[in-house]
Chain A
Amino acid sequence: MNTRSIMIVGVGGQGSLLASRLLGNVLLAQGHDVKVSEVHGMSQRGGSVVTYVKYGDEVFSPVIEKGEDDVIISFEQLEAARWLPYLKKGGKLITSTQKLDPMPVITGAAEYPDQIIEKLTNAGVEVTAVDALALAEQAGIAKASNVALMGVVAAKTDFDDKLWQDALEQCVPPKFLELNKKAFELGKASA
């Protein structure tokens, strides 16, 4: 099969690394060649972060360029808007409705755009918007909004549920596993 591309975007600290590792493990277990490109270091400190996940028969470049991406998974609305040009026309965008003001908005140097979800829909891509933070809080673990959103992704894709469960067990520390599984299930049910 041709290489397919998924981007996970958000704000540093929202847990995109864990989300990408879950996805990477599911894809590898499916027998694909997989590459996952992460961001570490300075950008992790509250900046805009992106993780690239690519899979297929043989993946070469670990990065995704504008107009190449099949699916964007976004933990924050403005980040969905920022990375939209990477999506192919007709691509899928799954975003949390959470809003986090970037520093230029906080200092008053810029404004947070309004009606982001509507504008994304009008751009010619398929948008699914979910309040992943509310789902995670419902599960009793606000930090797991990343995993709740991956539950939505699981519902929107056709990978075997067992693979997701295995990936959760591999990637989430045992102490938080049950609560994360709950957040994942709530995400799945919401889609």
Chain B
Amino acid sequence: MKKLMLGNAAFARGLYEAGVTVASSYPGTPSTEITEYAAEYDEIYAEWAPNEKVAMEVALGASIAGSRSFCGMKHVGLNVAADPLYTASYTGVNGGMVIAVADDPGMHSSQNEQDSRHHAIASKVLMVEPSDSAECKDFVKTSFELSEEYDVPVIVRMCTRVAHSQSAVELCDRVVPAQKEYTKNPQKYVMMPAFARGRHVFVEERTQKLIEYAEKSPLNKVIDNGGDIGIITSGISYQYAREAMGDKASYLKLGVVNPLPVELIKNFCSKYKKVYVIEELDDIIETHCKKLGLDVVGKELFGYIGEFSQALVAEKLLGVKTETVSFDGNVPVRPPVMCAGCPHRGLFYCLSKNKITVSGDIGCYTLGASAPLSAMDTTICMGASISALHGFNKARGEDAEKSTVAVIGDSTFMHSGMTGLVNIAYNSTNSTVIILDNSITGMTGHQQNPTTGKNLKGDPAAAVNLEELCKAIGIKRVRVVDPYNLEETETAIKEELAAPEASVIISRRPCALLKYVKHKPALKVVNDKCKGCKMCLKLGCPAISVRDGKAVIDHTQCVGCGICTEVCKFSAIEG
């Protein structure tokens, strides 16, 4: 039976059919749903780890124990997990181990546009790249076989358009291979220098074997339509090229993207007058070709930035531009915003009002950087808010300590914020850290985390007590505020900034989109009382706008949080 499946759902189906028993991941767009779908199969133990490094170590442990294992993450997550990855390459596997890494060309939901293939090259592991949902499932299953055959962790490289596109998939049954025996083998698994030297020799020999495999791998396909034009491509770029060029070109579609084959590529290039390399982000295939002395054209036409499309390929290779219709008038942009009733809004309103410098982090609350709140000065990577605040304060001293805060979500704090807070306590700056505890991992679509009291399957789990944790780290001033209460929140911020020691404010209220959060009826503006002062618009609430000089509240969006009633000086907003 054929089923329409998201690339990520097909990936999870591949895990199921391949007999995976342990999966550990940290959520990150566009990779999150792989693990969520995997958790729907009772046969797979699936969990959210506190971060990607932990997740990969869990998966490696399960592999060493003899089971087929998985961990998934977004491209920047692999930076966090790079430490175990580079040594997992040396230890190799026992049961097959597959890692999903989802790149985000075009940065739909990311802070950078890095190309994960660099990590595969540097860590010397096998990397494959599917181009649609059916391939997601098939490549995952093949990857487990290759992982076990070549004693190597295998990265399956996804990208937004493959992960978040649905296409037809043929379902098969689950086949669970017998768990491999675990035998003590320190030469393979204890990576101290004496043993690691031996494993490095193995890794180099393995790479040669993997290149031989890549020469004949069924994942690498030649589609020979004759003609003068050859295109070397992989993943989603293949789909763009194929749609734009159809039978007007021949294709070498690379499913194995590390290591790259040599003879296969040389033979392909020898058949066509002009060979193009079409790859999103960096010039990895192109550089490989040029090192082989092959005359190919790639980045000089297509560049290094953003997503490609069939229109781009048609324009660059055929000189074709599509005719378009246009709208007569300006269309204002519609950037993403904090939802109506978002608990982060009240906090950012207070920060904005007091013109506080904000060291920001990764999550829904990054939207606090947008107008009209504009209450964020930096966003770098997971956890950086706290550590960068410490550095900022060390550099600028007391004035900064009294006017600068870090903001970080509950899940991000668990991921890599804690160590930064340890640094603040240990190396003592008078820093103020605000943990935005909305009881869920918000941006990626409501995943549980170690503070929520539930695990990935929704079952009860141990919950980290943030107050006690911060105190145990050495922060003496820890207080909790309700961000719907603007006065309480503003007072806390002022007092903690003024305090002569480091402090943590926990801004606590569950995400307004959580199913268990009961919404109040929508608020209304009393027309006679509204003076049109637009004070309420400073909140940046998508439910409030102005029509004919008076504020109006959209009843389909308003959840009755009431913070607009706190800023209205004329009591014009009522329940």
Question: A residues bordering B, Cβ < 8 Å?
Answer: 3, 11-13, 21, 24-25, 28, 33-48, 59-63, 65-68, 78-79, 81-82, 84-89, 91, 100-113, 116, 119-120, 122-125, 133, 142
Contacts and interface: CB of A to CB of B under 8 A. Distances in A.
A168 B556 CA distance: 23
A81 B331 contact: yes
B335 A103 contact: yes
A36 B166 contact: yes
Contacts of B183: none
Nearest to B442: A45
A100 B332 CA distance: 12
Contact of A108 (B108, B310, B534): B534
A102 B335 contact: yes
A108 B537 contact: yes
Contacts of B546: 106, 108
A108 B330 CA distance: 14
Interface of B: 2, 4, 6, 29-30, 32-33, 108-109, 132, 161, 164-168, 236, 239-240, 242-244, 307, 309-311, 322-339, 364, 366-367, 370-372, 443-445, 534, 537, 540-542, 544-546, 554, 556-557
A61 B413 CA distance: 38
Given A103-B335, A105-B545, A40 B30 contact: yes
Which of A24, A33, A37, A111 has the most B CB atoms < 10 Å from its CB?
Answer: A37
A59 B325 CA distance: 24
A182 to B, nearest CB: 18
B515 to A, nearest CB: 11
Given A43-B108, A65-B322, A85-B325, 8 more contacts: A33-B168, A36-B4, A63-B307, A67-B322, A103-B371, A106-B541, A106-B544, A107-B372
Nearest to A53: B166
A84 B332 contact: no
B325 A41 contact: no
A119 B331 CA distance: 12
Nearest to B325: A123
Contacts of A125: 325
A103 B165 contact: no
Contact of A68 (B311, B537, B542): B311
A100 B243 CA distance: 35
Q: Which of B240, B443, B545 has the most CB of A within 10 A?
A: B545
Contacts of B364: 45
A19 to B, nearest CB: 13
A1 B337 CA distance: 41
Given A39-B108, A40-B109, A79-B334, A103 B542 contact: yes
A72 B522 CA distance: 31
Contacts of A46: 334, 336-339, 542
Contacts of B554: 100
A81 B566 CA distance: 36
A180 B534 CA distance: 37
Given A85-B326, A106-B540, A65 B310 contact: yes
Contact of A120 (B327, B367, B542): B327
A62 B308 CA distance: 12
Which has the most chain B C-beta neighbours within 10 Å: A28, A59, A101?
A101
B112 to A, nearest CB: 14
Contacts of B324: 66-67, 85-86
Q: Which 7 A-B pairs have the closest CB atoms?
A: A41-B109, A41-B29, A47-B336, A67-B322, A110-B332, A65-B311, A102-B334
A41 B337 CA distance: 12
Contacts of A107: 371-372, 537, 540
A127 to B, nearest CB: 12
B166 A38 contact: yes
14 contacts: A13-B339, A24-B4, A40-B32, A40-B109, A41-B29, A45-B336, A46-B337, A61-B236, A61-B244, A67-B324, A84-B325, A110-B330, A119-B329, A123-B327
B250 to A, nearest CB: 15
Given A36-B166, A87-B325, A113-B330, A63 B132 contact: no
Contact of B542 (A43, A106, A113): A106
Contacts of A88: 325
Contacts of B337: 45-47, 103
B544 A34 contact: no
Main SS of the interface on chain B?
Answer: loop
B23 to A, nearest CB: 19
A103 B443 contact: no
A180 to B, nearest CB: 17
B369 to A, nearest CB: 12
B444 A41 contact: yes
Contacts of A59: 167
Contacts of A122: 328
A78 B320 CA distance: 29
Nearest to A90: B325
A98 to B, nearest CB: 8
Nearest to B367: A45
Contacts of B443: 41-42, 45
Given A25-B4, A62-B239, A101 B310 contact: no
A88 B327 CA distance: 13
Contacts of A28: 2, 4, 168
Contacts of B557: 100
Contacts of B445: 40-41, 44
Contacts of A48: 333-334
A105 B309 CA distance: 31
B540 A102 contact: no
Given A28-B168, A42-B29, A108-B537, A62 B161 contact: yes
A124 B323 CA distance: 13
B540 A103 contact: yes
Nearest to B312: A65
A67 B322 CA distance: 6
A82 B521 CA distance: 32
Most buried by A among B311, B334, B364, B445: B334
A81 B329 contact: yes
Nearest to A115: B329
Contact of B331 (A11, A42, A82, A91): A82
Nearest to B242: A60
Given A40-B109, A42-B336, A61-B309, A113 B331 contact: yes
Contacts of A78: 331-332, 334
Query: Chain A CB within 10 Å — which of B243, B323, B367, B444 has the most?
Result: B243
A61 B335 contact: no
Contacts of B338: 45-46
A65 B327 contact: no
Nearest to B162: A62
Contact of B336 (A43, A86, A124): A43
Contacts of A108: 534, 537, 546
A111 B332 contact: yes
A104 B370 CA distance: 10
